[in-house]
Amino acid sequence: KNEVEQSPQNLTAQEGEFITINCSYSVGISALHWLQQHPGGGIVSLFMLSSGKKKHGRLIATINIQEKHSSLHITASHPRDSAVYICAVRNTDKLIFGTGTRLQVFP
């Protein structure tokens, strides 16, 4: 069993839909990252959080430390949101990654 589990693995949505991607972890962490990778592109950091909730534009990330769970929400999804979204937790000083969630948003 991976130390960081994401669900779903694949997600398709119609433009405008509300998207939720979940991440659960089983190790102690100092922070949790949500990352985005477009096809053929590099990895971009969306959020780093250690408690509560953060919002950036249409993206919202929440974390529940007691339940060892985080969610990434995308409101009013758009085809340009199509990418792989990766949850990674900081354990000591290294990151442990989930397998990623492949999101496709259709017009």
- Residue of 4, 11, 61, 74 interacting with other proteins (CB under 8 A): 4
Hey, which residues between 5 and 34 contact other proteins (CB under 8 A)?
33
Amino acid in position 45: S
Which residue from 14, 64, 58 is spatially nearest to 36, judged by alpha carbons? 58
Residue 56 Cβ vs other proteins, minimum distance, rounded to whole Å: 13
Which residue from 62, 87, 79, 64 is spatially nearest to 8, judged by alpha carbons? 87
Give the separation between CA 51 and CA 84, rounded to whole angstroms.
Answer: 23
Residue 38 Cβ vs other proteins, minimum distance, rounded to whole Å: 11
- Residue of 43, 71, 73, 82 interacting with other proteins (CB under 8 A): 43
Phi-psi region of 40 (alpha: psi -120 to 50; beta: other; left: phi over 0): left
Residue 23 Cβ vs other proteins, minimum distance, rounded to whole Å: 12
Per CB under 8 A, residues contacting other proteins are 2, 4, 33, 35, 41-45, 48, 86, 88, 92-100
